Amino acid sequence: MDKMKVVVTGGTGYIASWIVRDLLKDGHEVRVTVRKLKDKEKYVHLLNLEKKYEGTLKIFEADLLKSGSFNLAIEGADYVMHTASPFSVDRNLDPRKDLLEPAVQGTVNVLEAVNRSKTVKRVVLTSSLAAIYGDNRDMDDLGIEAFDETMWNSTSSLDNNPYSYSKTMAEKKAWEMVGQQEAWDLVTIHPGFVFGPSLSKRVDATSIDTLRRLLSGAFRTGVPHLEYVFSDIRDISTGHIRAAFTQEAHGRYIIANENGSFLKMAKIIKHHYGDQYKLPRRIIPKPVIWAIAPMIGLSKQYIKNNVGYTLKADNSRSIQELKMTYRSLETTLIDHIEQLRKDGLV
């Protein structure tokens, strides 16, 4: 396809790095934003890509909370992929200041820059399954077999799953803003819990930190029966790129595949690596988890509404319309662990 000018926000991040790499590989001109140009250690991988694809990657500074800071990067661009947003479930954060404001205000700042540009045709927003459902029990309450793209998270708030709330409010803001003009359209991508090899040696992204903790023995005594739907980072990158360049693509796309728990992850890892890692071997019963909730950084409300429920997501729209094929959780995890081992991070 023709060479396009594509902006990717949050280039220091786990997911954005893969999108940038794949766009460059496909021959596009990429402008990537980072929060602070001076923090070069956060984007060594981008500097390497800049050398490899000489002249086609430009790095800009832009902060989600600074109005106007995306204007320069987005001016004259054809497509924008907005991935930057804080991803954290740390209960010590201030949910409004650290999650909601950067997610929503960042989306407004990016989309105002898109409006100013007069050149952008489509925005692909990295939303989340977290904007589709709030708690795992929602599926039971709704009496459905799987979540799909018609559904919206209606149970999260600043007090209950604030990260999910930040993603929901940011996506709602994006749909509101696209409805106020006709120059560009919006497609949203909804990953599950993303794993897969990282292009950088950073370990603070929630996905990477979670896998390293699983391998290091942090959950050795056992894990709650808590289900997720998993996504491979390379599938997530493909999903963003197809959502941008498939002309008929529209609306929301779940890009996620297998469901399962930390125990399922542990069994896959044990099958490949034997006893090399201190993996969890059993499920801790819900009443025990309930009793120790504060000690393990989970609220009782979260345990009540999430532990013990099946979680599934329907990815058929992405298969039919974006022609997605999915990697297995096994491939995702093994490739991720191999990258961590190669980089000396486990």
Q: What whole-number distance in Å separates Cα of residue 74 and Cα of residue 69?
A: 10
Residue with Cβ nearer ligand NAP (118 or 213): 213
Among 86, 196, 197, 224, binds ligand NAP (CB under 6 A): 86
Cα separation, 73 vs 297, in Å, equals 39
Give backbone dihedrals phi and psi of 28, rounded to 5 degrees, phi first.
-85, 160
134 contributes a contact to ligand NAP by CB under 6 A: no
Q: Minimum distance between the CB of residue 55 and ligand NAP, rounded to whole angstroms?
A: 23
| C-alpha to C-alpha distance for 271 and 283, rounded to whole angstroms | 18
Residue sitting closest to ligand NAP (CB): 13
143: buried, middle or exposed (CB in 10 Å: 19+, 13-18, 0-12)?
exposed
> In the bound complex, what is the minimum distance in angstroms from residue 286's beta carbon to ligand NAP?
24
Q: Per CB under 6 A, does 162 bind ligand NAP?
A: no
Give the residue, chosen from 6, 73, 74, 102, that forms a contact with ligand NAP under the rule CB under 6 A.
Answer: 102
* Contact between residue 155 and residue 219 where contact means Cβ atoms under 8 Å apart: no
Burial class (CB in 10 A: 0-12, 13-18, 19+), 290: middle
Comparing CB distances to ligand NAP, the nearer of 84 and 214 is 84
Q: How far is the CB of 62 from ligand NAP (least distance, A)?
A: 6
| Residues forming beta bridges with residue 61, ordered by sequence position | 34
CB of 274 to ligand NAP, least distance (A): 27
Q: Which CB atom, from 160 or from 281, has the smaller least distance to ligand NAP?
A: 160
Q: Does 87 engage in binding with ligand NAP (CB under 6 A)?
A: yes
**Which one of residues 14, 79, 184, 219 is an interface residue with ligand NAP (CB under 6 A)?**
14
DSSP 95: I
Burial 196-214 (b: 16+ CB within 10 A, else e): bbbbbebeebbbbebbbeb
**Which one of 6, 73, 81, 84 is in contact with ligand NAP (CB under 6 A)?**
84
Distance of alpha carbon 38 from its chain centroid, rounded? 25
Q: How far is the CB of 113 from ligand NAP (least distance, A)?
A: 13
168 binds ligand NAP (CB under 6 A): no
Rounded to whole angstroms, the Cα distance separating 29 from 322 reads 22
Distance between CA 228 and CA 99 in Å, rounded? 21
Distance of alpha carbon 178 from alpha carbon 183, whole angstroms: 9
Looking at the DSSP bridge assignments, the partners of residue 126 are 189
**Closest CB to ligand NAP among 207 and 315?**
207
Which residues 235-274 are close enough to bind ligand NAP by CB under 6 A? none
Answer for which of 128, 164, 168, 237 binds ligand NAP (CB under 6 A) is 128
The 193-195 sheet, strands edge to edge: 193-195, 228-232, 259-260
In the complex, least distance from residue 252 CB atom to ligand NAP, rounded to whole angstroms: 13
260 DSSP β-pair partners: 228
Residue closer to ligand NAP, measured from CB, 8 or 120? 8
- Site mask for ligand NAP (CB under 6 A), range 188-217, x = bound: ---x-xx----------x-x----------
Binding region for ligand NAP (CB under 6 A) out of 82-90, 132-140, 175-183, 328-336: 82-90
- According to DSSP, the β-strands at 193-195 and 228-232 are parallel
Nearer Cβ to ligand NAP, position 128 or 305? 128
Q: Which parts of 31-60 interact with ligand NAP (CB under 6 A)?
A: 35, 42
Residues in the site for ligand NAP, rule: CB under 6 A? 10, 12-16, 35, 42, 63-65, 83-87, 102, 126, 128, 167, 191, 193-194, 205, 207
